[in-house]
Amino acid sequence: MVHAIDDGAVGGAEATIPENQSCRSCERASSQFDMREHFTSSVIWQLPAGKGHALLENANPIVNGILGGWQFAGVGTARSGLPLNVTISRPASAPPDEINNSQRPNLVAGQPLYPTNPSPSDWLNVAAFSVPAKGTWGDAGRNLLGAPGHWQMDVALEKRIQVRERLPFTFRAEAFNVLNVAQLGNPVVSLSSKAGSNGALQLIVPGNFGLINGAFSTTPTGSATPREIELSLRLDF
């Protein structure tokens, strides 16, 4: 288990703006790339069938060629979700220094940060947040919440076919995320505010707040994609 902590580094030379320009230490929290838990396990199994194995040891060449020499491999991964930073839009006159970038809301005492049963359509409890009073900073910490975790299984089946002594073929069938587990992206974490009839700021909750409306990965290859099946045939010479 590794815990990455920083005060706002994002990498790639992007700008990092603290909520309170005079309190960089107030930004100290989990890094946005903090993946607290990550587990990987793999297995390779030579199927015990065909010449030289317990099953079909005396099979004729045709049966041995079809059923013998197979190898199975599998990789399982599980990892926790990345941190989420809830922000709120406030007019420049609201923060003490009138710099309204990267503002965070207040936390409502006694309210859980997540619903009882979080789901892709309702990942965060909006009742846990409120608008800070004018002239104050929001007390919600940076990167306070967590996105959904991810897990998947990848499997492969491989067979080496010896056409000639120095001319082998290798057939391989692979399935990534073979169980087609949904790999959820991040929920919407942006709130806003407006002045009420009494002049005090009121919380505006977008209809998609807490909604996960995308996948973790939108690239066609790599981890955290929908199920992918790949067949290959390799000739070694």
The confidence band for 68, taking pLDDT boundaries of 50, 70 and 90, is: confident
On the question of pLDDT at 20 being above 60, the answer is yes
The confidence band for 62, taking pLDDT boundaries of 50, 70 and 90, is: confident
Query: How confident is the model at residue 236, as a pLDDT?
Result: 79
Tokens 């997540």 identify what position? 114
Query: How confident is the model at residue 154, as a pLDDT?
Result: 95
Query: How confident is the model at residue 153, as a pLDDT?
Result: 95
Q: The pTM is what?
A: 0.77
- Cα distance between residue 86 and residue 69, in whole Å: 54
The predicted model gives 22-27 an average pLDDT of 89
Contacts of 28 (CB under 8 A, 6+ apart): 5, 6, 7, 142
Query: How confident is the model at residue 113, as a pLDDT?
Result: 96
Query: How confident is the model at residue 217, as a pLDDT?
Result: 82
Count up the domains in the chain and report the number: 1
On the question of pLDDT at 13 being above 60, the answer is no
- Cα distance between residue 62 and residue 50, in whole Å: 10
Tokens 């067979």 identify what position? 159
The 10s digit of each residue's pLDDT in 184-225 is: 999 999 999 888 777 778 888 888 999 998 888 877 777 788
Query: Which amino acid is present at 127?
Result: A
Q: Which domain holds residue 215?
A: 5-235
Angle ∠(67,70,76) on CA atoms, nearest 5: 140
Task: Sort strands 190-195 and 87-89 into parallel, antiparallel or unpaired.
Answer: parallel
Query: How confident is the model at residue 10, as a pLDDT?
Result: 65
**What integer best gives the mean pLDDT of the chain?**
87
The 10s digit of each residue's pLDDT in 128-180 is: 999 999 999 999 999 999 999 999 999 999 988 777 777 788 899 999 999 99
The confidence band for 21, taking pLDDT boundaries of 50, 70 and 90, is: confident
First to last CA, the chain: 44
- Cα distance between residue 26 and residue 20, in whole Å: 8
More confident residue, 59 or 40: 40
Strand order in the sheet with 201-204: 87-89, 190-195, 201-204
- E strand map for the chain: 5-6, 29-30, 38-46, 70-79, 83-84, 87-89, 106-107, 129-130, 145-146, 150-164, 167-176, 190-195, 201-204, 228-235
Contacts of 165 (CB under 8 A, 6+ apart): none
On the question of pLDDT at 14 being above 70, the answer is no
On the question of pLDDT at 4 being above 70, the answer is yes
Q: Which of 23, 32, 22, 24 is nearest to 7 (CA)?
A: 24
The 10s digit of each residue's pLDDT in 90-138 is: 999 999 998 888 899 999 999 999 999 999 999 999 999 999 999 999 9
Query: How confident is the model at residue 195, as a pLDDT?
Result: 81
- Cα distance between residue 209 and residue 128, in whole Å: 12
- Cα distance between residue 235 and residue 191, in whole Å: 57
